[in-house]
Structure 1
Amino acid sequence: MSSDKLEYIPKSIPGEDFELGRMKLQSYSWEDISAALIDYLSRTKDELIPTQLEVLQLFKYNGSWGLSNHENLEDLQKFFDIFNKVYFNGVITGYWKLELYALRRYNDYDGYCELLKGTERDPGFKHETARIEALLNIPMHEMSHALFGIYACRCERGCKEKYDMIVHRSRWRGHPLAWQAAAFAIEKVENDQNARIKMGFSLELKRKAEECLKETGWRFIAKANSCIRSHWKVDSAIHSSRIEEF
């Protein structure tokens, strides 16, 4: 086998290299990126860098729930910058952009079927802190993906094929064990009472990529299943196939 056909082995990441300007784009394995982040988050309280101390103090005195407008990009950007500096040592600075998109549902493709569990979230029980907590979990989740997307190697000597398999064809679709380990490290740091980083609310990155909003309680509903297309519903009785209009 010629040397140009040999599988490329990405470089490891020394602890001191996990910072902006020293990390090389698309140069490392998923496992080494995960290990570098975990090592960074596992350092003792005495090893906090000045930037982290400054950001944590700013966050502490401004309050954990300082989002005046949930759809205001400027307010959200503040938390993105804080998370980037505290949890990722700023290594994704300049490589991501925060935007809001309106989701549109087209009438030609609005049919779907689903099973209902017999309960649903009760809109009468809303919790503002849980709403903001869920809102901030989403950027943390995506920032974790950005870390791997920016620095994972995609060369033609095996890495590109592995990257495509992890992102597009694997069981977890972009959430392999390396990503889950990194996400767990972030959650552990925030949830551990003795952690060096404590920002005042619980982060939950949904390691299986299941976005579970925690803003309402639950209530019982009559239907056990439904097939819906715009204005139809199917009666849940076993022997009934009656279709009713809303």
Structure 2
Amino acid sequence: MMNFSPADLTAIWLTLKLASIVTMLLLIFCTPIAWWLARTHSILKAPINALITMPLVLPPTVLGFYLLIFLSPNSTLGKILSDLGVASLPFSFAGLVVASMLYSLPFVMQPLQNTFVSLNDKHLDAAATLGASPMDRFFSVVIPLSKPGFISAAVLGFAHTVGEFGVVLMIGGNIPGETKVISVQIYDHVEALEYPQAHTLSLIMMAFAFLVLCLLYFAQRNTHEQHKKGIW
């Protein structure tokens, strides 16, 4: 039987809370940008895509370090936020949300963009001939047809946020109940030579990763079946 300490349970709850908030915000933020990137021929498309994809190739500590610098109370942005009444972001849960959004951005943006690119324009054209406005076409045609992409984006964004470590440690530190997520809790157990506790939490992470991959493969299989049936 798995025995969790109060600190373990707090870390698990904080991790799920962080991943849920980050995933929801990223889906809202990424959807219009992914749609624009999928449809535009602007010369800005390449540099914007490069900026979005940078977290995939940058070491997490690099991203965390610059976020720590840019969001510090002494920075220009930090002073502007302070003047607006926003509390200091480094070493806070809000700071973790901002950092996690940037770090998980490509894992949400790319599935959405790929899904929008693969959509058949005939459905949009048919809706246009019926008098549907661009906004109506997006919500009544694009969103329903893009359901597998939204599922993949949500699952990947959630899972990536759950598993992050370097960015979390750089921008959030190790504050119990505030920024100590499950990955940091595992690190603390290992540092204290508490291997059974680290083993238990690590097994949970491995089981979670397996379930996430299974869900993604099922979503991809359903997408392929829809293509074969001509739904797209």
TM range (shorter): 0.3 to 0.5
TM-score (norm 1): 0.31
TM-score (norm 2): 0.33
Higher helix share: 2
